[in-house]
Amino acid sequence: MNNPASEAETIWRPEVIPGQQVFLSHIRREDIPLFARWFSDLEFTTYTGAIGMSSTLEQEEEWFASITKDPTIKYFGIVVCEGQQLIGNISLKQINYRHGTAEIGIGIGEKSTWGKGYGSEAIRLMVDYGFTFLGLHSICLWHTSFNERGHRAYLKAGFKVAGQWREAALFDGQRYDHVLMDITREDFGPSQLRSMLQQLQDK
């Protein structure tokens, strides 16, 4: 019997938002078993902010059904260009089109790909998409202060520390801050997606 997670990792995916090492693509119902594997891993969920939480296959199916109906969420899978492996997910949520704001969230579920710069590039691609195609002006994120690897990735992607909620997280008997970071359209700089569109128009 085939492993559904392996099938989800190697299926051909369209490059909705193209990048150099990774691209962003739509997630599919067939990806749910893979997501369930990631979100049952306590280390993964701890770094994504859901400390001590894990999800079942049924819960992931309910989650998938909910995001496909919510106009305030844009959700993509993170796919490695070489090999077409689905390694994580990224989203813009709580999108407010009137004020041009949203919150970004990311999770790299395949631990073998941690530390390779995929997360930073995926964040840049998603932020570029938000500014260029959704007309957003400011995008924020929250992370727990012990997530130093994530913090470095966010800084590399252009985010700045905007504030902190002190000692708001409890983990293993210790208190940690929730760190607020943000990036504006001006902070982001030139848009690669806009340049790509301009090249297509010039052809």
Side-chain half-sphere exposure of 202, counting CA atoms within 13 A? 6
pLDDT band at residue 108 using 50, 70 and 90 as cut-offs: very high
What is the pTM (predicted TM-score) of this model?
0.86
Residues in CB range of 100: below 8 A, 6 or more apart: 135, 136, 137, 138
Q: What is the pLDDT of residues 66-92, one digit of tens each?
A: 888 899 999 999 999 999 999 999 999
Structure tokens at 199: 């090249």
> What domain range includes position 110?
4-202
pLDDT reported for residue 52? 67
Cross-sheet strand order for the sheet of 22-25: 22-25, 74-80, 86-96, 101-108, 138-144, 174-184, 160-171
Q: What is the pLDDT of residues 12-29, one digit of tens each?
A: 788 899 999 999 999 998
Give the helix/strand (H/E) hosting 65: helix 57-67
The total domain count for the chain is: 1
C-alpha–C-alpha distance, residues 95 and 101, integer Å: 6
CATH code of residue 79: 3.40.630.30
Q: What is the pLDDT of residues 26-60, one digit of tens each?
A: 999 899 899 889 988 888 888 887 776 777 788 88
**CA proximity to 46, closest of 139, 176, 136:** 176
Between residues 161 and 42, which one has the greater pLDDT?
161
Q: What is the 3-state secondary structure (H, E, C) of 94-108?
A: EEECCCCEEEEEEEE
